[in-house]
Amino acid sequence: IQAVNERYSLLNRLFDTLIIVLTLELSNYIRVSFPIGRPAPNEALDVPLYFLPITVIIWQIVFTAFQVYGLSYGKLHVRSFPRLVEAHLIAALTFMGILYIVHRDFSRLESAYFIGTSLLIMLSYRFIWPYASALLGANPWTKRKVLIIGTNNQALQISRIITDYAAAGLQFAGFVRHVTDEMPESEIDSEEILGNIDTLRKIVTEHGIREVIICDHANEHEYLRQINDTLSSLPVNIRIAPDYSDLAYFHMTIEDFAGIPLVGLRYDMLTIWQRIIKRLFDIVGASVLLIAFLPLIIIIAIAIKLDSRGPILFRQQRAGERGRLFTMYKFRSMVWDAENQITYSQNYKHADDPRVTRVGRWLRRLSLDEIPQFVNVLFGDMSLVGPRPELPQVIGHYSPLQWKRFEVPQGVTGWWQINGRADLPMYEHTDYDVFYIRNYSVWLDVMILAR
């Protein structure tokens, strides 16, 4: 599978390079053949020859930074489109900026044709290619049949991956139970179970199995030796899929360290490129939002002062990325010295809390009390999107899994705010935060902000 992924990665690079070159010429043809708007002089329609390799390099660098070519073959379908679109738009902005410097008179309409047609073709071939490859690779004589020992959820997941890699020459044959009376632990069709471990050799021989993957929980030394001895005289490869269910929330990697495989369990969740892009996105977004909300900020400040005595802003210590403490700002929505009036759980939102002012209740209902946190974003304490910063006294009771929330910048809003339940404390939304961390992209940030 690794070799297949490497071939498809190289193939994607070649195809993308070809698409860039051809669509540059195609956009010129469209601009000349179907003129729209003001006629452009000839020199404004021709891309300088030296700019062609620069354009290719721009797309290759940006696509590599966004890990477009890091997607495995089995994921070359619509689920990978958001990352491709995101990378393409960043490359297009870079292209437009450099082109404006070196060839200011170049037709803007032709640039739009180039960006639009190249994106459309890249999306189209990535959508069509897996299906076309599956048809081309459907020859049963070239298939390597794969047998899975085990009937747990991990076995089911691997069987689906094998099906996704049909064009790579793999064919899923079925499952083998550990013992005769074992019941499937997942949604496995009973017809896919070929037998139990006692008849393993017969199953491998009769079905022409060439690959065996062990996914059973009973991965003890003697159990593995038994399987290896049973199949030792047959031309079959044996692989083990360790049970990482206890590490499900780790974003693991396997690295080759001078021939020694190292499994990475903890490392920076965001790459340097992702951090740079996220920070630029935060600075631009927070600046624009503060300017846009300036009239509203003035109105809210006046309303707070007229409604109750006390400061306009509420300041509170919160834990940010890596647990670093910072001062978070909000518009004051409670009476002054509210914390000394009633003992309450600071993790919950109370709709009928008597300490909430009239203006504060309105601010909370519309989430306008969070606006000052855009200043925290500009200071670098927070991000526009991310897990919510927690109270210092709460994080002392966090489990190791819950601490994963602090491996990225904390946000003004996040995935659990638009999907979870607001009546639960933040630490019970860890699953949502981990999902965001593992699937981070600028595109996901935009989607969360839009909602």
- How high is the mean pLDDT of the chain? 79
Residue 178 has pLDDT above 70, yes or no: yes
Residue 211 has pLDDT above 60, yes or no: yes
pLDDT, position 184: 56
Most confident of 259-263, 410-414, 424-428: 410-414
pLDDT, position 345: 45
pLDDT, position 103: 67
Dist. CA 128–CA 15, nearest whole Å: 13
What percent of the chain clears pLDDT 90, i.e. is strictly above it? Answer: 25
Please tell me whether the overall predicted TM-score, pTM, comes out greater than 0.75 for this model: no
What confidence category does residue 130 fall into, taking pLDDT thresholds of 50, 70 and 90?
Answer: low
How confident is the model over 339-391, as pLDDT tens digits? 665 544 444 445 567 788 899 889 988 889 999 999 999 999 999 999 999 89
pLDDT, position 97: 83
Given a contact cutoff of 8 angstroms between Cβ atoms, the answer to whether 204 and 174 are in contact is no
Q: Higher pLDDT residue, 414 or 72?
A: 414
Torsion of CA 327, 268, 242, 67, to 10 degrees: 120
Q: Higher pLDDT residue, 24 or 261?
A: 24
Mean pLDDT of 429-436: 79
pLDDT, position 5: 62
Q: Higher pLDDT residue, 158 or 4?
A: 158
Q: How would you class 369 by CB atoms within 10 Å of its CB: exposed for 0-12, middle for 13-18, buried for 19 or more?
A: buried
What percent of the chain clears pLDDT 70, i.e. is strictly above it? Answer: 73
Which token pair is 223? 């159990």
pLDDT, position 377: 96
Mean pLDDT of 191-220: 86
Q: How would you class 148 by CB atoms within 10 Å of its CB: exposed for 0-12, middle for 13-18, buried for 19 or more?
A: buried
How confident is the model over 7-63, as pLDDT tens digits? 677 888 899 999 998 998 888 777 767 666 555 544 444 666 777 888 889 898 888
pLDDT, position 221: 76
Mean pLDDT of 86-107: 81
Residue 430 has pLDDT above 90, yes or no: no
Mean pLDDT of 129-134: 67
Q: How would you class 313 by CB atoms within 10 Å of its CB: exposed for 0-12, middle for 13-18, buried for 19 or more?
A: middle
Mean pLDDT of 235-247: 73
The three-state DSSP-derived secondary structure of the chain is CHHHHHHHHHHHHHHHHHHHHHHHHHHHHHHHHCCCCCCCCHHHCCCCCCHHHHHHHHHHHHHHHCCCCCCCHHHCCHHHHHHHHHHHHHHHHHHHHHHHHHCCCCCHHHHHHHHHHHHHHHHHHHHHHHHHHHHHCCCHHHCEEEEEECCCHHHHHHHHHHHHCHHHCEEEEEEEECCCCCCCCCCCCHHHEEEEHHHHHHHHHHHCEEEEEECCCCCCHHHHHHHHHHCCCCCCEEEECCCCHHHCCCCCEEEEECCEEEEECCCCCCCHHHHHHHHHHHHHHHHHHHHHCHHHHHHHHHHHHHHCCCCCEEEEEEECHHHCEEEEEEECCECCCHHHCCCCCCCCCCCCCCCECHHHHHHHHCCHHHCCHHHHHHHCCCEEECCCCECHHHHCCCCCCHHHHHHCCCEEECHHHHHCCCCCCHHHHHHHHHHHHHCCCHHHHHHHHHC
What confidence category does residue 299 fall into, taking pLDDT thresholds of 50, 70 and 90?
Answer: very high
**Domain 140-243: top CATH class:** alpha beta
Q: Higher pLDDT residue, 309 or 348?
A: 309
Residue 143 has pLDDT above 90, yes or no: no
- Bridging pattern class, strands 383-385 and 209-214: unpaired
pLDDT, position 137: 53
pLDDT, position 294: 93
- What does the longest C-alpha to C-alpha distance in the chain come to? 87
Residues of the chain with CATH 3.40.50.720: 140-243
Q: Higher pLDDT residue, 61 or 435?
A: 61
